[in-house]
Each structure stands twice: as C-alpha cells, then as structure tokens.
C-alpha cells in the first residue's frame, strides 16, 4: 500500500525559488508544495517522516526529483516542518489525499463550496468553506458577476468592484489564517457574502 511504502525525500529551496514549475506556477520555497514524477498537478499528499512520525500536507506543483533513488522534493517550508534543514534527505511515507480542489487540505475530507449568488448565477466551483494558506481560490461563471469587496482576517476591507465576464476569472491567494469574506453580486444589483476560513495546514502523527 502507498501509505506503508517508505520513500526517499529531499528538499529544494533557494536555487529554484522564483523559477517556473512544470505545473505553470512560480516555485515559492516558503509554500507547502512538492515535486513528484507522476502525481497530477494539484494533488494533495500527506508526507510523514518515518523517523519521528511528524507529517505535513503538501500540494504537488512541479515534476521531479531527478536524482536516482529519490521519490519527492519538498519545498524548504514543507521539509523543515518535519525534519531539520541540515538533514537534507529523509525517509517518509506518502498518503495521497486527492485533488486539492476537491479535498480539504487540513484533514483530507471532501471540501464543500458556496456556489450560488442567486438562483440563476452560479460559480463553476465556488468559494470553499475551508482552504489553506497559499492555496489559490478561483471564481468563474457562465454569467457575469462582480466581486465588490474582500474582508481579510485582520479586519481590513479591500473594495474591488471587479466585473468578471464569462471566460474570465477572479483569483485570490490567501496569505494569512482566519476568515475571508467575499461580497459578490450580479448585474441587477443583488449581492451575497461568502466566507472562507483559512488554516495553516500541518499535522503531527
């Protein structure tokens, strides 16, 4: 079973920071991400250090590693959550949780979404009830909608008034924990607030 197999895991950091990944993103060594040869982009994987039992949940956003015998590269942030940086390499087990869009990054449960502004205006996926720091949230719809404002966990309010037409998207990447409140509306002036609770997702044991 995958969860029982022990793999060699290494870290990658400054030499790759800011460079493009195979999944079309910029690599950020301070985010909880990983490189794997075969897992699809955006797969969530629980990585457990076989030596100390500490775990971290990461999102696959790159391909690699390309060193024989190694099965995953972890970002600096992810690696140091469960092992000392000076160690460089560890033995770990993997638990594949699923696509990050459908699985909650904190505990691996199915994620629920707030999809409807009004009866006839729905998001393709919607605002998740829970998400992780650093995980992009994207809103699209087959009908025009407006993102009027975002209230951040620290209480600050960003007034956006950004109209999003079919084929376009609104994206926000949360950088702090707590409640984000999105005020969204329709062309005829109807509005709704949707809350997304953001957590720093790491587990032990």
pTM over 0.85: no
Average pLDDT along the chain? 87
Is pLDDT of 1 > 50? no
Span 23-70, pLDDT tens digits: 888 899 988 899 999 998 888 888 999 999 999 888 899 999 988 899
Integer-rounded Cα Rg, in Å, for the chain is 19
Q: Where are the beta strands (DSSP E) in the chain?
A: 6-12, 33-35, 43-49, 54-62, 72-75, 89-99, 113-118, 121-128, 130-132, 137-139, 145-151, 157-164, 170-172, 178-185, 191-199, 202-204
Task: Look at the domain 2-99 and name its fold.
Answer: Barwin-like endoglucanases (2.40.40)
Q: What percent of the chain has pLDDT over 70?
A: 89
Which CATH code of 3.40.50.720, 3.30.70.100, 1.10.3720.10, 2.60.40.10 fits the domain covering 113-204?
2.60.40.10
Q: Where are the domains of the chain?
A: 2-99, 113-204
SS3 content of the chain, % helix, strand, coil (to 5): 5, 50, 45
Work out the average pLDDT over 136-142: 93
- Band (pLDDT 50/70/90 cuts) for residue 102 is low
């Amino acid at each position: 079973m995958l969860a029982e197999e022990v793999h060699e895991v290494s870290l990658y950091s400054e030499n790759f920071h800011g460079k493009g990944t195979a999944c079309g993103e910029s690599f950020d060594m301070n985010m909880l991400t990983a490189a794997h040869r075969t897992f699809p982009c955006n797969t969530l994987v629980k990585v457990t250090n076989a030596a100390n039992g500490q775990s971290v949940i990461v999102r696959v956003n790159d391909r690699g590693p390309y060193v024989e015998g190694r099965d995953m590269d972890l970002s600096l942030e992810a690696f140091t959550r469960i092992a000392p940086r000076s160690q460089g390499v560890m033995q770990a087990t993997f638990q594949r949780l699923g696509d990050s869009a459908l699985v909650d990054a904190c505990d691996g449960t199915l994620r629920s979404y707030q999809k409807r502004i009004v009866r006839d205006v729905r998001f393709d996926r919607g605002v998740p009830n829970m998400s992780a720091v650093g995980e992009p949230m994207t809103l699209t719809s087959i009908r025009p909608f407006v993102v009027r404002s975002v209230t951040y966990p620290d209480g600050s309010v960003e007034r956006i008034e950004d109209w999003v037409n079919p084929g376009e998207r609104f994206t926000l990447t949360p950088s702090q924990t707590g409640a984000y409140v999105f005020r969204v509306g329709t062309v005829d002036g109807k509005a709704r607030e949707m809350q997304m609770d953001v957590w720093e997702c790491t587990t032990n044991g």
